[in-house]
Amino acid sequence: MADTVGFVGLGIMGSGMAANLLRAGYEVVVFNRTPARAEPLVALGARAVATPAEVAVACPVVLVCVSDTPDVREVVLGPQGVADGAAAGSLVVDCSTIDPAGAREVASELAARGVAFVDAPVSGGSEGAARGTLSVMVGGAEADVARARPYLEAVGTTITHLGPVGAGQTCKLVNQVLVVGTMLAVSEALLLAQAGGLDPAVAIQAVAGGAGGSWMLANRGPQVVARDFRPGFTIDLQQKDLRLVLGAADDLGVPLPATALVFQLYRTLQARGLGGEGNHALVRALEALADREVGGPPA
């Protein structure tokens, strides 16, 4: 008989992850607030139930992937939540991105009921979720992480254990600092290239292989040049994560001047109704300042 695992939260990320668990041969019991979102997974062989508690009754290990700290608290600790159905000795693996302190609080409340907790936020976007190539940053006790690992290996290719509960979330915040800071560098570089009379697409090719190279330059640079701002990851979600970053930095006494600047710049794009564009639309803020545009159709 196949191993059974629960999955709560079938958004863009969760749907892909749950599908990969099915593909890996697990029996998957799913719950989503909007039941219609469970249908494609049921078609793939999942069993849908009516509450997170029912997921926990059926499965000793439950993965969660929702939006924010309050959502995690609700589906895990709220009425009919995972904790209501979980037997002592169960394990909750939270793949949402929330603040590290929030993760520690949920873990502590679950521990009081004999339920273990691992935080396991992911990066790699909807494509990574669909392909099972996510990076998973894991925080928790050694034994709990070992127990979670087979499920995480079904959804990701890089599974890194970073420390106790909360450490996975902290590492996810570190990742977000890199993402937006690198995108700021790419934005300034492309603007200088354009203003200096270069073809920005050629300039990217010239430098992408060297010390200035980055995933953002190689992947998002050409999209900026093509004025393709469809989201891999939206500005609105990026800002949600940057609030967590800036909050954690505030708690820890760490100065993040570039990250803070990006946060200010994204905000102006949200105010202009561009919060649904990809995080590489950051360049638009500098463009507004400079009154010029990188790329576009060939002259």
Measure the N-to-C terminal CA separation of the chain; round to a whole number of Å. 63
Match 């000795």 to its residue by tokens: 89
Least Å distance, CB 61 to a second copy, is: 22
> Binding residue for a second copy (CB under 8 A) from 179, 244, 281, 282?
179
Q: Which of 162, 224, 282, 283 binds a second copy (CB under 8 A)?
A: 162
Nearer to a second copy by C-beta: 13 or 216? Answer: 216
Query: 239-278: which residues touch a second copy (CB under 8 A)?
Result: 243, 245, 248-250, 252-261, 263-265, 267-268, 270-272
Least distance (Å) between residue 117 CB and a second copy: 17
Shortest CB 3 distance to a second copy, Å: 26
Q: How far is the CB of 67 from a second copy (least distance, A)?
A: 18
Measured between alpha carbons, how far is 230 from 205 in angstroms, rounded to an integer?
A: 22
Quote the least distance from Cβ 65 to a second copy, whole Å.
Answer: 17
Regarding 184 and contact with a second copy (CB under 8 A), the answer is yes
74 three-class SS: helix
Alpha-carbon torsion 268, 272, 274, 275, what sign?
positive
Q: Which is nearer to a second copy, 20 or 123 (CB)?
A: 123
Query: Which residues are designated catalytic?
Result: 172
Neighbours of 37 (CB within 10 A): 17
Instruction: Give the residue, chosen from 64, 120, 145, 193, that forms a contact with a second copy under the rule CB under 8 A.
Output: 193
Of 242, 241, 239, the closest CA to residue 269 belongs to 239
d(CA 77, CA 86): 11
Q: Cα–Cα distances in Å, from 124 out to 71, 128, 175, 179, 229?
A: 21, 5, 11, 11, 17
With contacts defined by CB under 8 A, how many residues of the chain interact with a second copy? 84
Of the candidate spans 58-66, 77-85, 145-153, 188-196, the one that interacts with a second copy by CB under 8 A turns out to be 188-196
User: Applying CB under 8 A, which of residues 28, 165, 186, 235 lies at the interface with a second copy?
Assistant: 186
Q: Which three-class secondary structure state does DSSP give residue 33?
A: coil
3-state secondary structure of 143: helix
Of the pair 11, 128, the CB lying nearest a second copy is at 128
Residues 119-158 that bind a second copy (CB under 8 A): 123-125, 135, 137, 158
Query: Each residue of 109-119: b (16+ CB within 10 Å) or e?
Result: ebeeeebbbbb
38-97 positions binding a second copy, by CB under 8 A: none
